[in-house]
Every structure is written in structure tokens, then in C-alpha cells.
Amino acid sequence: MAYTPQDLANINQMISGGLKQAMIAGEMVQYRDLNELLRIRRLIEAELKPAQARVSFPVRYAETDRGV
């Protein structure tokens, strides 16, 4: 399912307003509790991040004492 920034805005509005039902990706969705809303928000945020921003390992650079 492809999410949009509007879907993320809807979820954030639901969390802040205490709502449990919203239109997400063109479908009416009803959630059970806050934990489920927080989980779906993390999922939407992860999908909306560009692939370049995802780094699965830390980047390390070599350090030398003599400027070499």
C-alpha cells in the first residue's frame, strides 16, 4: 500500500485528537487503540523516507596520526 503525506497528517491528527477512525489511502480505517495508531504512524513515516536516507550500518572513516 502506498502512503501519502496526507495519510501521515491524518494519523497525526487522530493521535492528537483521540480519534480512532480516518480515511487512509482511500479507505476508511478504524483502529483499536493508541499503540496501533503509533505503530501505523511509524510504518507510514518509514515508507515516506527516501531510500537514500536509510543507512543500515554506521559509516566510519579512517583516522591517521601523521596526516597521511
| Phi and psi torsions of 62, nearest 5° | -70, 140
Q: Say what the pTM is.
A: 0.61
Helix (H) or strand (E) holding 40: helix 34-48
Residue 1 — very low, low, confident or very high, per pLDDT cuts 50/70/90? low
What pLDDT does residue 20 have? 81
Task: Give tens-digit pLDDT for 19-61.
Answer: 788 777 778 888 888 888 899 899 989 888 875 565 667 777 8
For residue 13, the model assigns a pLDDT of: 87
- pLDDT classification of 4: cutoffs 50, 70, 90: confident
Q: Are 10 and 22 in contact (CB under 8 A)?
A: yes
